[in-house]
Amino acid sequence: MRANKLAAQVEFFYDLSSPWTRIAFHNLRAIAKETGAQIRWRPFLVGGVFNAVNEDVYKSRANPDAPKVRHSMSWLKQWAKLAGVAMNFPSEHHPVKSVIAMRVCCALEENQDKLLRFTEHAFEAYFTSRRNLDDPNVIAAAADECGLDGERLIAQAGEQATKDRLRANTQEAIERGAFGSPTIFVNETELYFGNDQLPLVKQAILAF
């Protein structure tokens, strides 16, 4: 970790349903450890972002045999291998809507340590064990497995305040320029997208 009076601030807007986000989530933490950057994890609903500003993503999903889609899947597996994370994707549950799971993340957002733990376990549940992240029982179990109260979190996911927070986070990301997951901001203004732009994220952190 480099010596620095003020640490660069990184915001990581994410949805648990995204395989590229799962890899970036892993890799960004290594960058933060190396550089001393402070990460704030910001759950949002990527489907809401797509509906608002990036509907073309649905067109690409409609043709899984398109060259770009086929090559992207190969690259995904290679990036996962490079990062050292499991990527048993896609599964029979793909694509998940992830609404309840992301509400649970919002219920934990004020406690970033707990949110980090849950996020890691939820990613493992979906991308390693191929469990259905739209099933409240699966979500609760992932929470229980990392020492949280799954039943309580599922109840919180149904509360209006939690629903409002997810909507607000999603709208904030859209207004700041997001078009997919993960969307990463360095020091509030510099926007980056996806795992492959993490070298640029690191460069921006080091320039701070």
**pLDDT the model gives residue 54:** 74
Q: What is the mean pLDDT of residues 170-177?
A: 98
- Residue 66, pLDDT score: 72
4 — pLDDT class (breaks 50, 70, 90)? very low
Using CA atoms, how far apart are residues 192 and 182, in angstroms rounded to an integer?
8
pLDDT of 175 reads 98
Q: Please give the pLDDT value at position 1.
A: 45
Q: What is the mean pLDDT of residues 195-203?
A: 98
Examine residue 47 and state whether it is found in any structural domain, yes or no: yes
Q: What is the domain count for the chain?
A: 1
3 vs 63, more confident? 63
Both tokens of residue 14?
Answer: 């994410």
Write out pLDDT tens, residues 36-64. Answer: 999 999 999 999 999 999 777 756 666 66
How far is Cα 68 from Cα 208, in angstroms, rounded to an integer? 35
Query: Is residue 131 in a domain?
Result: yes
Rounded to whole angstroms, the Cα distance separating 115 from 102 reads 11
68 is written with which tokens? Answer: 């770009």
How far is residue 102's CA from residue 170's CA, in Å, rounded to a whole number? 11
Q: Does residue 83 form part of some domain?
A: yes
Residue from 184, 167, 165 nearest 13 by CA = 184
Structural domain span for residue 79: 9-206
Within a domain: 4: no
- Give CA angle at 181 (179, 185), nearest 5°: 80
Rounded Cα–Cα distance for residues 145 and 4 (Å): 36
- Please check whether residue 3 lies inside any domain of the structure: no
| Mean pLDDT value across the chain | 94
CB 54 within 8 A of CB 179: yes
pLDDT confidence of residue 2? 47
**Mean pLDDT lowest among 51-55, 75-79, 86-90, 101-105:** 51-55
With contact defined as beta carbons under 8 Å apart, do 98 and 17 qualify?
A: yes
Residues 6+ apart with CB under 8 A from 147: 117
In a domain, 2, yes or no: no
Summarize pLDDT for 121-157 with one digit per residue, the tens: 999 999 999 999 999 999 999 999 999 999 999 999 9
Mean pLDDT to the nearest integer, 183-190: 96
Q: Are 14 and 21 in contact (CB under 8 A)?
A: yes
Q: CA 86: distance to chain centroid? A: 16
The three-state secondary structure class of 193 is strand
Kindly give the interhelix angle for 160-175 and 46-53, rounded to the nearest 10 degrees: 40
**Collapsing DSSP states into helix, strand and coil, what is residue 183?**
strand
Taking residues 15-27, report their average pLDDT. 98
Q: Return the pLDDT at 127.
A: 97
40 Cβ contact list (under 8 Å, min separation 6): 9, 10, 11, 12, 112
| Residue 15 lies inside a defined structural domain of this protein | yes
Residue 143: which CATH number?
3.40.30.10
Q: What is the DSSP pairing of strand 183-186 with strand 190-193?
A: antiparallel
Polymer length of the chain? 208
pTM of this prediction exceeds 0.75: yes
